[in-house]
Structure 1
Amino acid sequence: MSKGKVLVIGSNATRIEIEGGGWAPTGQYLNETVVPAMAVIAAGYEVVFATPDGTQPTIDPASDSAEHFGDDVAAYERAKAFFATDPAMTNVRALKDVIADGLEPYAGVFVPGGQAPGVDLMQDAEVGVILRHFHARSKPTALLCHGPIAVTAAMPHAREFRAALIAGDTAKAREWAKGWQYEGYAMTVFSNSEEKVVEDYVLHAKLYFSVVDALETAGGKVVTTPVNFEPNVVEDRELITGQNPRSDHPIAERFVAALDRVLVAA
């Protein structure tokens, strides 16, 4: 018997704006998606995968490698097969349909990273509805790597907030962020120095804003490690955030523990 349902929110973005005009390819990270999802299932929960348009996310090619699985080729192949064939990953629902059916049955919500959430999820109205629901009920809300930027969707003016960041108008972004549910929360996210590695060696371009700066502008208390790609998880009340791809297993453990605590308390 399932312990309950867990909502996993994926991104449909396949490109991200870069300075000077134009776009760079992006997507969702494979390990950041499947490692926590598989852990949640192994712990006895049912995963419901949903995206803004109800189609499966595009996996960022930069993540499609055994390197993100500790060079364990067998683990990498299992992950690829899970994402490609397991009903938990292939039976994707649209966020609006999940909301219409009711959010009360869900024990928690998880958002994986890759830079894609910084394009669509951080300003998606339906993501905002979902996050406000889980926040109001103090249900476990976990986000990994770039995924934590999605919490800005809970703002009353998330689209305007992002537009101000793109325009480089920090003062205006702060104005649009007023009333944010997660103001004052401790959190982590992909660090500025880690982002520079991606900009220099993967994108070969500079992004309009960093996720660290965005969350700090909104009022988050962001904590990142001084060493790039060191695993790091920060937990504050119902919010559980992981810094980078190597935080996949640690955040999965913390998220499952939080789900189990809520189950026991109930």
Structure 2
Amino acid sequence: MSKILFVMTGVDYWTLADGTKHPTGFWAEEAVGPFEVFTEAGYEVVVATPGGVIPSVDEGSLSAEANGGEKNATQVKATLDSITALRHPIALGDVDLDDYVAVFYAGGHGPMEDLAVDHTSGELLVAARDSGKPLAIVCHGPAAMLAATIEGGANAFSGYRVAAFTNAEESQAGLADKAEWLLEDRLTEAGIQVEVGDPWESNVVTDRGLVTGQNPASSRPLAAEMVSRLA
């Protein structure tokens, strides 16, 4: 069975501008949706995190409000509990890209804390880009692209068009004024072109081998696009 590498944050907090640690992790829908799309298409999912730590879910992403009602929230939680791979991640440093047909990065605010500055993750992203294998990244996951630098210090994805969690969405979520930096701003500063869609609506952008999604609503469409590319 072909395998897809499923990269996730290894932290359960995001340090704000005043130094406080905002509880977070990965966003449930951005793990559950792609996992279901990938496995239903016949792929094996292998989870990788910095240091191989078990990823923590953002508790806010399990609420009824975040999932369109209590019934959906219960289903998302049940699916998360059933994903064995989440409880047995491998370390990013142990990843052999040749073992996988594609790479996916989940979001949540966690990547803003660790993957944005993780050298091993950055090298993996550059290797994935150069390999031509489908690479998909959703919501706050594009923060990991900030660590993907090449010789001379330029960003490996400079000039690429992407979707990512926007300043407007961060403001509406109530954290923009508390954040030390915003994802849309940092990506733009790195030379990456952020194509902004309507807040909270699905927005998937493709550029060469890269597929990116703006927010949780984009996670399933993004995963479906990657499966289509693998077909």
> Are the counterparts in 2 of residues 18 and 208 from structure 1 also a CA contact under 8 Å?
yes
Structure-2 residue corresponding to 1:83: 80
Quote how far apart the aligned CAs of 1:49 are: 0.4
Q: How many residues align?
A: 231
Q: What letter corresponds to residue 234 of structure 1 in structure 2?
A: V
> Are the counterparts in 1 of residues 112 and 144 from structure 2 also a CA contact under 8 Å?
yes
**Distance in 1 between residues matched to 2:57 and 2:188, nearest whole Å:** 28
Cα 1:204–1:234 change in 2 (3 A) is: closer
1:151 to 141, 145, 152: 145
Listed as ranges, the matches of 1:111-190 within 5 Å are 111-156=105-150, 178-190=153-165
Structure-2 residue corresponding to 1:22: 20
Q: What letter corresponds to residue 239 of structure 1 in structure 2?
A: L
Q: Find the residue that maps to 1:246 and give its secondary structure.
A: helix
For each residue in 1:128-160, what CA deviation from the matched residue of structure 2 results, as whole angstroms up to 9, or x when unmatched? 221121111111111111011111221149xxx
CA RMSD of aligned residues (A): 1.9
Listed as ranges, the matches of 1:225-236 within 5 Å are 225=197, 227-236=198-207
**Distance in 2 between residues matched to 1:67 and 1:24, nearest whole Å:** 19
Query: Please, which runs of 5 or more residues in structure 1 have no aligned partner?
Result: 158-175, 261-266
> Are the counterparts in 2 of residues 18 and 205 from structure 1 also a CA contact under 8 Å?
no
**Distance in 2 between residues matched to 1:204 and 1:228, nearest whole Å:** 14
Q: What letter corresponds to residue 208 of structure 1 in structure 2?
A: E
Identity %: 37
TM-score using structure 2 length: 0.93
TM-score using structure 1 length: 0.81
> Are the counterparts in 2 of residues 68 and 245 from structure 1 also a CA contact under 8 Å?
no
**Distance in 2 between residues matched to 1:19 and 1:49, nearest whole Å:** 30
Structure-1 residue corresponding to 2:8: 10
**Distance in 2 between residues matched to 1:21 and 1:40, nearest whole Å:** 38
> Are the counterparts in 1 of residues 143 and 183 from structure 2 also a CA contact under 8 Å?
yes
Q: Find the residue that maps to 2:97 and give its secondary structure.
A: coil
**Distance in 2 between residues matched to 1:185 and 1:156, nearest whole Å:** 15
> Are the counterparts in 1 of residues 170 and 176 from structure 2 also a CA contact under 8 Å?
no
Q: Find the residue that maps to 1:83 and give its secondary structure.
A: helix
Structure-1 residue corresponding to 2:51: 53
Cα 1:228–1:204 change in 2 (3 A) is: closer
Quote how far apart the aligned CAs of 1:40 are: 0.4
Quote how far apart the aligned CAs of 1:85 are: 3.1
> Are the counterparts in 1 of residues 176 and 182 from structure 2 also a CA contact under 8 Å?
no
Structure-2 residue corresponding to 1:93: 90
**Distance in 1 between residues matched to 2:217 and 2:210, nearest whole Å:** 19
Q: Find the residue that maps to 2:22 and give its secondary structure.
A: strand
> Are the counterparts in 2 of residues 155 and 181 from structure 1 also a CA contact under 8 Å?
yes
For each residue in 1:61-93, what CA deviation from the matched residue of structure 2 results, as whole angstroms up to 9, or x when unmatched? 2111244444371x4334322322332322211
> Are the counterparts in 2 of residues 83 and 90 from structure 1 also a CA contact under 8 Å?
no
Query: Please, which runs of 5 or more residues in structure 2 have no aligned partner?
Result: none
**Distance in 2 between residues matched to 1:141 and 1:120, nearest whole Å:** 19
Structure-1 residue corresponding to 2:192: 220
**Distance in 2 between residues matched to 1:50 and 1:206, nearest whole Å:** 29
Q: Find the residue that maps to 2:51 and give its secondary structure.
A: coil
> Are the counterparts in 1 of residues 49 and 89 from structure 2 also a CA contact under 8 Å?
yes
